[in-house]
Amino acid sequence: METIKEDLIIFEEIIPGGWNFSHHLKKGTCLRLTDVEGGVNASTLLYNSQNLSERYNMADTLKAQFTSCLTTGHALYSDMGRVLLSIIDDTCGKHDTMTACSNPKTNLAKYGMKNYQEFRNDYYRDGLTSLITEVSKYGMTVRDLHSHINFFTRINVDNEGNLSFAKNEKPGTYIDLQAEMDTLVVLNTCPHPMDTNSNYAPKPLKVTIWKADCKLEENPCYQLCDQNKRGYMNSINYYK
Amino acid sequence: MSFDKNNTIYTQKVLAGDHWSHVIKAGQTIRIIDLEGNQAADTMFYSLADTDERYSAQDTINYQNNVYLTTGSKLISSLGNVLLTITDDTCGRHDTVGGACSAESNSVRYELNKIHMHNCRDSFMAALREHDIELGKRDLNSNINFFMNVPISPDGKSTFLDGISEAGKYVQLKAEVDVLCIISNCPQLNNPCNAYNPTPIELNIWD
């Protein structure tokens, strides 16, 4: 467990299970997502803070790095050939970006209904509605949702392409995302629709933001492949 | 109704590297034919009733619990509704994870100077501009690549391999609601998705 030095921490917050969060992560800072209790799912969208039409691209991220899941050493690409965030550390080992978060239909089919009127803030919330709510705060709409990342959700694929779900069970598991560009991070902590738990049991997520110090030459993502060296060049050139 | 050249209401050959757009009404069927083999047909669908609702690769993968598309696959929208169903497929497997090529992603994947090459995203944007709807790059999400072979292996790797399609193979989809379909007949020259040789496709629509 790599502890972050206290004096480098800019802020820290716990997002309760089933809620949403967003933050403009500045270039040169790092975001640690911690699965506090084990079993969290953090469905996450990424946008260039200065130009929201530039956003995370699942396909470009996977293609450039010949992978189908995400962990340390993988860069998260925008649809403009630039690296938004670097995964510089990860104790989970595998995060999904090929499946969708929950929506009102999947929630209803799986959990039934708990409404606000009867259950107040224990009502059931879903990932799609949470993401629409959160992006709306930045002038965006459902049009601006795109293929997202499900941090801490592990999806296994067999030889025929069939999927199976596995979540992180270990409390304290974390992933470190260093911003290579100013990046609007939008996420929610609703359970993944393929979660094998048939009860609605969302888990909390800790977000910690601190001053990043991982230099380009030491960045495991930059070192991974020639594709990433070009991706980082594109990000660097964007700010020239 | 099954396919018959005599009952098609629309036939169009889309040349290598060209784009195409057309409305497919609920109940109509479209057949996409890989005329010469190993061609990738990058495809997106929008609900005509509200184009904010569009094809979602991720929701489609969840719905069928599988990463590949073939006969029986239901194409699911960003709001969780069925847009189309694949009713016939002689190719056997289609990709929806690999996305579309763009000038900028070419610069990453091949060389920085490969940015000035004809690409699918430019074609998609041109196809969207053909309609009186304000749709653009922000409306392009993960698409379908008919006839393209992107194996996802259990060890977490993904690669692009030579196509498993051949001349004359086709895939057929029935629209469950009115949809706007856009296709970029992929012009990529840098990888085996088109066997380095983009070729034409043919489209047929019938009631």
The domain spans of chain A are 13-238
Written as one string, the DSSP assignment of A79-114 is TTS-EEEEEEEESS--BB-SS----HHHHHHHH---
Least confident of A15-19, A126-130, B8-12, B157-161: B157-161
**What pLDDT, on the 0 to 100 scale, is given for residue A1?**
62
Alpha helices for chain A (secondary structure H): 58-65, 104-111, 116-119, 127-136, 220-224, 226-238
Nearby residues of B153 by Cβ (< 8 Å), 6 or more positions away:
A68, A157, A159, B159
Region of B44 please: left (phi>0), alpha (psi -120 to 50) or beta. Answer: beta
Written as one string, the DSSP assignment of B87-150 is EEESS--BBSSS----HHHHHHHT-GGGGSS--HHHHHHHHHHTSSS---GGG--S-EEET---
Alpha carbons A29 and A214: distance in angstroms, whole number: 10
Interchain contact A144–B (C-beta under 8 A): yes
- A 10 A CB-CB count for B35 gives 16
Token digits for A165?
A: 């779900």
> Can you tell me the mean pLDDT for A122-139?
98
Nearby residues of B177 by Cβ (< 8 Å), 6 or more positions away:
B26, B47, B48, B49, B81, B82, B83
CA angle A194, A52, A72 (to 5 degrees): 50
> Can you tell me the mean pLDDT for A82-102?
98
Cβ contact, residue pair B112, A142, below 8 Å: no
Q: Are B83 and B174 in contact (CB under 8 A)?
A: no
Q: Are A51 and A238 in contact (CB under 8 A)?
A: no
A144: phi then psi, degrees, rounded to nearest 5: -90, 0
From A128, A236, A84, A46, select the one nearest B59 (Cα to Cα).
Answer: A128
Cβ contact, residue pair A53, B137, below 8 Å: yes
Write down the mean pLDDT value for chain A: 97
Token digits for B82?
A: 């069925």
Give CA separation, A186 vs A79, B27, B111, B130, in Å.
Answer: 17, 38, 31, 32
Residue A160 has pLDDT above 60, yes or no: yes
Nearest to A63 among B79, B109, B140 (CB): B109
Nearest to A161 among B68, B80, B140 (CB): B68
| Residues in chain B closer than 8 A to A148 (CB atoms) | 58
> Can you tell me the mean pLDDT for A75-102?
98
Cβ contact, residue pair B65, A193, below 8 Å: no
Nearest to A227 among B61, B108, B115 (CB): B108
Nearby residues of B72 by Cβ (< 8 Å), 6 or more positions away:
B85, B86
Q: Are B157 and A66 in contact (CB under 8 A)?
A: yes
The per-residue b/e assignment along A25-47, b for 16 or more CB within 10 angstroms, e otherwise, is bebebbbbbbbbeebbbbbbbbb
Cβ contact, residue pair B99, A77, below 8 Å: no
Cβ contact, residue pair A63, B137, below 8 Å: no
| Residues in chain A closer than 8 A to B56 (CB atoms) | 100, 147
| Residues in chain A closer than 8 A to B103 (CB atoms) | 81
Q: Are A95 and A71 in contact (CB under 8 A)?
A: yes
pLDDT average per 10 residues of sequence, chain B (207 residues):
78 98 97 96 97 97 98 98 98 96 96 94 96 88 94 85 86 98 95 86 97
Reported as a pLDDT band with limits 50, 70 and 90, residue A206 is: very high
Residue A24 has pLDDT above 90, yes or no: yes
> Can you tell me the mean pLDDT for A189-193?
98
Q: Are A146 and A57 in contact (CB under 8 A)?
A: yes
Most B CBs within 10 A among A55, A56, A143, hence the mutation to make, goes to: A143
Query: Which residues partner with A87 through β-bridges?
Result: A177
Of all helices (H) and strands (E), which one includes residue B59?
Answer: helix B57-64
From A211, A220, A219, select the one nearest A5 (Cα to Cα).
Answer: A211
**What pLDDT, on the 0 to 100 scale, is given for residue B106?**
95
Asked whether this complex has an ipTM greater than 0.95, the answer is yes
Reported as a pLDDT band with limits 50, 70 and 90, residue A213 is: confident
**What pLDDT, on the 0 to 100 scale, is given for residue B157?**
84
